[in-house]
């Protein structure tokens, strides 16, 4: 099967492409991660690293797109020999000059110096994180795609505790919690190596979380990162709607670096879909406050229906002078720069029993 993504045409061995995480196989291609790859290409083009490592090649689509659409030198690592044959075919057919290595990720990343390392394994990033942090160039970047959402959202609490040393509630806010748990883990592992991180972009989509971070040496700044990690209670942060349960440790600092996102959105890259750029433009609003207000939970708590969100946003602006934004973490959630008692008052005024 031949598919087109970005400016590339890619051969896929499978005759049928299934949505979701799929199963690990030769020439693995995931159509649900087009947004992930679009945003990666946009940020790589904005950041202009010297070289880029696609650490888990599959069909080679990620590395091929980066080179073809940004001109950045790419290396693709793939341990499966048959998948390497697929990547070689795709490299030839797309006429891109890049290096393909039939070696494990750990081998390639430890012998060559990269300033952008992309870790997109099948499952958790935990087994590969330390080696990426250790070997990325000072001031370089790491892209991380995690698909172990059962652990990160708390739906498998024993796995959450075992893998991330944390407790989180599996509620309607679970995907923001999951991103913050992932960033907490990354920041702690980086700090253990005397490295400081800056999250540039972080988001949830379908079955995965994606974050791209900048990594720099410095024990002092690593100590500052640890100050952004703590346990918290939704009861205290966003009101009595939630039980007084301590969750974490979670990252409470910024998830997005606005200047990088703005620069990425201003580019006119032909291969990136308009919907992907529109999605990227909404992400800075996620840092408006720690956690979003989930109107479905407030409706259940007050015994009222969920009001129209556009009307609620307008009422918040008229009565409190505050701006509210939709959040990608929930279709019924709002990021509002207001405290929970103010939000509750406005919600109850316009919601209908």
Q: Residue 199: what pLDDT?
A: 98
The C-alpha atoms of residue 1 and residue 12 are separated, in whole angstroms, by: 5
Judge if 272 and 300 occupy the same domain.
Answer: no
Judge if 100 and 197 occupy the same domain.
Answer: yes
* Domain closes at, from 242, 259, 287: 287
* Domain closes at, from 253, 287, 321: 287
Per-residue pLDDT of the chain (353 residues; tens, 9 = 90+): 898 999 999 998 875 555 555 555 666 778 889 999 999 999 999 999 999 999 999 999 999 999 999 999 999 999 999 999 999 999 999 999 999 999 999 999 999 999 999 999 988 999 999 999 999 999 999 999 999 999 999 999 999 999 999 999 999 999 999 999 999 999 999 999 999 999 999 999 999 999 999 999 999 999 999 999 999 999 999 999 999 999 999 999 999 999 999 999 987 788 898 999 999 999 999 999 999 999 999 999 999 999 999 999 999 999 999 999 999 999 999 999 899 999 999 999 998 75
Is the CB of residue 209 less than 8 Å from the CB of residue 182? Answer: yes
Q: Residue 268: what pLDDT?
A: 73
82: number of Cβ within 10 Å: 11
Domain that holds residue 305: 293-350
Residue 198 burial (C-beta neighbours within 10 Å; 0-12, 13-18, 19+): middle
Judge if 63 and 103 occupy the same domain.
Answer: yes
The C-alpha atoms of residue 157 and residue 178 are separated, in whole angstroms, by: 12
Judge if 60 and 204 occupy the same domain.
Answer: yes
Q: Residue 32: what pLDDT?
A: 87
Phi, psi of 150 (to 5 degrees): -65, -35
326 strand-pairing partners = 334
Judge if 276 and 297 occupy the same domain.
Answer: no
CATH number assigned to the domain comprising residue 324: 3.30.56.70
Judge if 132 and 180 occupy the same domain.
Answer: yes
Count of domains forming the chain: 2
Burial 117-129 (b: 16+ CB within 10 A, else e): bbbbbbebbbebb
Judge if 91 and 131 occupy the same domain.
Answer: yes
The C-alpha atoms of residue 75 and residue 100 are separated, in whole angstroms, by: 6
Judge if 281 and 307 occupy the same domain.
Answer: no
Cα of first residue to Cα of last residue in the chain, in angstroms, is 53
CATH number assigned to the domain comprising residue 91: 3.40.50.150
Judge if 194 and 49 occupy the same domain.
Answer: yes
Judge if 226 and 312 occupy the same domain.
Answer: no
72, two tokens: 């950045």
* Domain closes at, from 271, 287, 303: 287
SS3 annotation, 154-196: CCCHHHHHHHHCCECCCCCCHHHHHHHHHHHHHHHHHHHCCEE
pTM higher than 0.75 = yes
Judge if 10 and 112 occupy the same domain.
Answer: yes
Q: Residue 16: what pLDDT?
A: 55
Rg of the chain (C-alpha set) = 21
Judge if 282 and 317 occupy the same domain.
Answer: no
């Amino acid at each position: 099967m031949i598919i087109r993504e970005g400016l590339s045409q890619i051969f896929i061995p499978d005759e049928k492409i299934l949505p979701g995480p799929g199963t690990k196989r030769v020439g693995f291609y995931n159509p649900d991660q087009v947004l992930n790859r679009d945003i990666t290409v946009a940020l790589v083009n904005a950041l202009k690293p010297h070289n880029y490592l696609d650490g888990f090649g599959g069909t080679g689509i990620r590395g091929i797109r980066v080179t073809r659409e940004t001109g950045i030198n790419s290396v693709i690592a793939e341990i499966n020999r048959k998948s390497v044959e697929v990547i070689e075919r795709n490299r030839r057919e797309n006429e891109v000059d890049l290096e393909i290595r039939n070696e494990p990720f750990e081998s390639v990343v430890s012998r060559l110096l990269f300033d952008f390392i992309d870790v997109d394994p099948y499952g958790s990033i935990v087994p590969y994180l330390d080696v990426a942090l250790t070997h990325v160039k000072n001031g370089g970047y790491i892209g991380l795609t995690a698909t172990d959402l059962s652990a990160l959202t708390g739906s498998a609490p024993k796995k959450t505790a075992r893998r991330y040393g944390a407790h989180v509630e599996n509620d309607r806010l679970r995907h923001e919690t999951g991103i913050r748990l992932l960033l907490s883990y990354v920041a702690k592992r980086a700090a253990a190596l005397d490295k400081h991180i800056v999250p540039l972009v972080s988001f949830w989509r379908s079955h995965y979380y994606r974050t791209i971070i900048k990594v720099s040496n410095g024990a002092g700044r690593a100590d500052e990162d640890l100050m952004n990690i703590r346990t918290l209670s939704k009861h205290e942060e966003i009101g009595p709607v939630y039980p007084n349960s301590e969750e974490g440790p979670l990252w409470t600092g910024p998830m997005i670096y606005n200047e990088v996102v703005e620069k990425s959105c201003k580019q006119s890259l032909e291969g990136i879909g308009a919907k992907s750029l529109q999605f990227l433009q909404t992400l800075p609003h996620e840092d408006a406050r720690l956690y979003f207000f989930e109107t479905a939970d407030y409706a259940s708590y007050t015994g009222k229906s969920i009001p129209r969100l556009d009307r609620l946003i307008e009422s918040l602006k008229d009565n409190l002078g505050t701006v509210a934004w939709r959040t990608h973490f929930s279709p019924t959630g709002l990021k509002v720069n207001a405290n929970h008692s103010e939000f509750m008052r406005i919600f109850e005024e316009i919601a209908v029993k």
